[in-house]
Amino acid sequence: MNTPKITARNVSVSYADKQAIHDISIDVDMDHVIAFIGPSGCGKSTFLRTLNRMNDTIPSARVSGDVRLDGQDIYAPEMDVVQLRARVGMVFQKPNPFPKSIYENVAYGPRIHGLATSRSEMDAIVERSLTRAGLWNEVKDRLSESGTALSGGQQQRLCIARAIAVDPEVILMDEPCSALDPIATARIEELIHDLRGRYAIAIVTHNMQQAARVSQRTAFFHLGTLVEYGKTSDIFTNPKEERTKDYITGRYG
Partner 1 sequence: MNGVVLLILTVGLGIIAWASTRMHALGFRRRSGSRTSSLPHHYGWYVALWTAVPPLIFLAIWAATSPALVTDMVLQAPAAVQLPPPGFERAAILSEARALAAGQAHGAFHALSRTLAPAYDAAQTRIDWIATAIVLLLALAGGAYAYLHVRPEFSARTRIERVVLGLLLGASLIAILTTAGIVASLLYEAGRFFSVVPVTDFLFGTHWSPQSIDPRNPGASLGAVPLFWGTFFIGAVIAMAVAIPFGLMSAIYLTQYAAPRARRIMKPVLEVLAGIPTVVYGYFAALTVAPAVRQFAVAIGIEWASSESALAAGLVMGVMIIPFVSSMADDSLAAVPNSMRDGSLAMGATPSETITRVMLPAALPGVVGGVLLAVSRAIGETMIVVMAASGVATLTANPFASTTTVTRQIVDLLTGEAEFDSPKTLAAFALGLTLFLITLLLNIVALNVVKRYRETYE
Q: Which residues pair with 37 in a beta bridge?
A: 220
Cβ-based neighbours of 188, under 8 Å, separated by 6 or more: 153, 156, 157, 160, 176, 177, 180
Decide whether 53 or 222 has the Cβ nearer to partner 1.
Answer: 53
Nearer to partner 1, 149 or 240 (CB): 149
Pick the closest to residue 88 from 106, 61, 67, 65 (CA basis): 67
Assess 92 for contact with partner 1 (CB under 8 A). yes
What residues between 145 and 174 interact with partner 1 by CB under 8 A?
Answer: 148, 159, 162-163, 166
The span of 83-91, 126-134, 189-197, 200-208 binding partner 1 (CB under 8 A) equals 83-91
Residue 1 touches partner 1, criterion: CB under 8 A: no
Residue 89 interacts with partner 1 (CB under 8 A): yes or no: yes
- Stretch of 2-10, 104-112, 211-219, 235-243 lying at the interface with partner 1 (CB under 8 A): 104-112
Shortest distance (Å) from residue 145 CB to partner 1 = 15
| 232 touches 216 (CB < 8 A) | yes
In the complex with partner 1, which residue's Cβ is closer, 148 or 178? 148
Interface pick for partner 1 out of 19, 25, 41, 81 (rule CB under 8 A): 81
Q: Do residues 174 and 37 lie in contact, with contact meaning Cβ atoms separated by under 8 Å?
A: no
112 scored as a contact of partner 1 (CB under 8 A): yes
Least separation in angstroms between CB 158 and partner 1: 11
Q: Which listed residue (7, 14, 96, 216) binds partner 1 by CB under 8 A?
A: 96
Can you list the pairs that 69-76 forms with residues at least 24 positions away whose Cβ atoms lie under 8 Å?
69/5, 69/6, 69/169, 69/170, 70/5, 70/169, 71/7
225 binds partner 1 (CB under 8 A): no
Binding residue for partner 1 (CB under 8 A) from 22, 100, 128, 245?
100
As a whole number of angstroms, the distance between CA 45 and CA 162 comes to 20
Residues of this chain that interact with partner 1 (CB under 8 A) are: 52, 54, 57, 59, 81-86, 89-90, 92, 94, 96-100, 108-109, 112-113, 148, 159, 162-163, 166
